[in-house]
């Protein structure tokens, strides 16, 4: 599997998710065999104004390479300027966000709002490709709403302007993240362009992954929410695609060990306070479906001390 000149070891990718796919989580997914990770979306305007937090989001660890940095914005000049800065970064690929549905993004004409302005899409992709010394990819949705489904048109523009791959999330902006993803639109895009197409939406395990590849003919798949609290999904999907074998779920003990390691990595990366605050949601995802998960989650959401959380998790493990 290649995107431009970047060789990837497989075709199962981690979706960019703001507030989720930070460096520690991406490293855990990479360890489980994820073929390509993406940063959380980074504001081009933020980088233009030298915002430190935005710049920090673009950093990649040695262990997660090759990785993609995802940027969002609506002004071609600023996108190009930021791309020049990213040329010197560790990112192997620059991805442009054209899917974010959040009003604070779309009201500025950014994210999925770009799907309503095909001519602006062309200008942005051309500007970024022109400035980049690495492959540029674009992540789109099915369309803005059911009355304006235009993923095929937007993908064709992206390809014509030099994009090296396109990811299609089979939902409209109007749907946000609810309802079922429409995989047929992914199939339509695949038939319409020659660059690799990455299919996205509703992959929660090996069987869906295989089905998405088969039904749409897409070149790679991208897993979002199915990876939350479940970095093992990459190993499971890859093994199923390669050998047709289902891998057992990790044991409760393995899950708790990974939670503790993940928490330590987050604390090292972001400091104790932020690390623990952010770890709370990850823990809730990891333990979902286990015995006493709900009450344990409620307790953890009130805790600020790492040792206290570890002790609660050890106790939780004894009851599994």
Ligand X SMILES: Cc1cc2nc3c(=O)[nH]c(=O)nc-3n(C[C@H](O)[C@H](O)[C@H](O)COP(=O)(O)O)c2cc1C
Say how far apart CA 152 and CA 142 lie, in whole Å: 8
269 is in an annotated binding site: no
Q: Which two tokens stand for residue 15?
A: 């979706």
Q: How far is the CB of 202 from ligand X (least distance, A)?
A: 5
Of residues 92-121, those binding ligand X (CB under 6 A): 97, 99-100
N- to C-terminal Cα distance for the chain?
40
Q: Token match 């992914």: residue? A: 186
Q: Which residue, 99 or 275, is less far from ligand X as judged by CB?
A: 99
Q: Rounded to an integer, what distance in angstroms lies between the CA atom of residue 47 and that of residue 44?
A: 5
Interface residue with ligand X among 76, 143, 226, 275 (CB under 6 A) is 226
139 is in an annotated binding site: yes
Phi, psi of 178, deg, nearest 5 = -100, 175
User: Quick check: helix, strand or coil at residue 6?
Assistant: strand
How are beta strands 136-143 and 197-200 bridged, if at all? unpaired
Peptide bond into 76 cis (omega under 30): no
Whose Cβ is closer to ligand X: residue 200's or residue 216's?
Answer: 200
169 is in an annotated binding site: yes
Stretch that binds ligand X, among 48-56, 199-207, 273-281, 302-310 (CB under 6 A): 199-207
Q: Is 142 annotated as a binding residue?
A: no
Q: Which residue is nearest to ligand X (CB)?
A: 224
The partner residues of 68 in beta bridges, in order of sequence, read: 38, 93
Pick from 201, 206, 231, 250 the residue near ligand X by CB under 6 A. 201
For ligand X, the closer CB: 152 or 256? 152
Output the DSSP codes for 216-249.
H--SEEEESGGGTT-TTHHHHHHHHHHH--PPPP
Look up residue 109 and give its two tokens.
């004409």
Whose Cβ is closer to ligand X: residue 257's or residue 285's? 285
Marked catalytic residue, from 100, 147, 161, 218: 100
168 touches ligand X (CB under 6 A): no
Q: How far is the CB of 230 from ligand X (least distance, A)?
A: 11
Longest Cα–Cα distance of the chain, Å, equals 59
Q: Which of 63, 84, 160, 177 binds ligand X (CB under 6 A)?
A: 177
Question: 219 burial class (0-12, 13-18, 19+ CB within 10 angstroms)?
Answer: middle
Candidate list 224, 229, 231, 275; residue touching ligand X; CB under 6 A:
224
As beta bridge partners, residue 223 has: 14
Contact string 37-76 vs ligand X (x = CB under 6 A):
---xx----------------------------x------
Burial 123-147 (b: 16+ CB within 10 A, else e): bbbbbbbebbebbbbbbbbbbbeee
3-state SS assignment for residue 199: strand
- Considering only residues 4 through 23, tell me which ones interact with ligand X, judged by CB under 6 A: 15-20
Q: 96 vs 127, which CB is nearer to ligand X? A: 96
29 an active-site residue? no
Residue 141 Cβ vs ligand X, minimum distance, rounded to whole Å: 8
- Binding-site positions: 16-18, 70, 139, 169, 224-225
Binding site for ligand X (CB under 6 A): 15-20, 40-41, 70, 97, 99-100, 139, 169, 177, 181, 200-203, 223-226
Catalytic residues: 100
- Binding-site positions for FMN: 16-18, 70, 139, 169, 224-225
């Amino acid at each position: 599997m290649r995107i431009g000149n970047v060789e990837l070891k497989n075709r199962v990718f981690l979706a960019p998710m703001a507030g989720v796919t930070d460096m520690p989580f991406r490293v855990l997914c990479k360890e489980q065999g994820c073929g390509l990770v993406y940063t959380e979306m980074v504001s081009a305007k933020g980088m233009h104004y030298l915002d430190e937090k935005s710049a920090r989001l673009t950093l990649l660890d040695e262990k997660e390479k090759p990785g993609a940095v995802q940027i969002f914005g609506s002004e071609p000049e600023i996108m190009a300027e930021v791309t020049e800065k990213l040329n010197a970064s560790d990112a192997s690929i620059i991805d442009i966000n054209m899917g974010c549905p959040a009003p604070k993004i779309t009201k500025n004409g950014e994210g999925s709002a770009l799907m309503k302005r095909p001519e602006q899409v062309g200008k942005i992709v051309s500007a970024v490709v022109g400035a980049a010394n690495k492959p540029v990819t674009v992540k789109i949705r099915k369309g803005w709403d059911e009355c304006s489904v235009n993923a095929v048109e937007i993908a064709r523009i992206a390809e014509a302007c030099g994009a090296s791959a396109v990811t299609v999330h089979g939902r409209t902006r109007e749907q946000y993240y609810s309802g079922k993803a429409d995989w047929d639109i992914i199939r339509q895009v695949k038939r319409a362009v020659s660059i690799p197409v990455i299919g996205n939406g509703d992959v929660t395990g090996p069987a869906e992954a295989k089905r998405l590849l088969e039904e749409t003919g897409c070149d790679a798949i991208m897993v979002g929410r199915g990876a939350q609290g479940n970095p093992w999904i990459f190993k499971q999907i890859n093994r199923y695609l390669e050998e047709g074998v289902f891998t057992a779920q990790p044991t409760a003990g393995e899950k708790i060990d990974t939670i503790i390691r993940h928490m330590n990595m987050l604390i090292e990366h972001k400091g104790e306070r932020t690390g623990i605050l952010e770890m709370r949601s990850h823990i809730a995802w990891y333990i979902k479906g286990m015995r006493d998960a709900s009450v344990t989650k409620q307790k953890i959401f009130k805790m600020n001390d790492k040792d206290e959380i570890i002790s609660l998790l050890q106790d939780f493990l004894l009851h599994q």
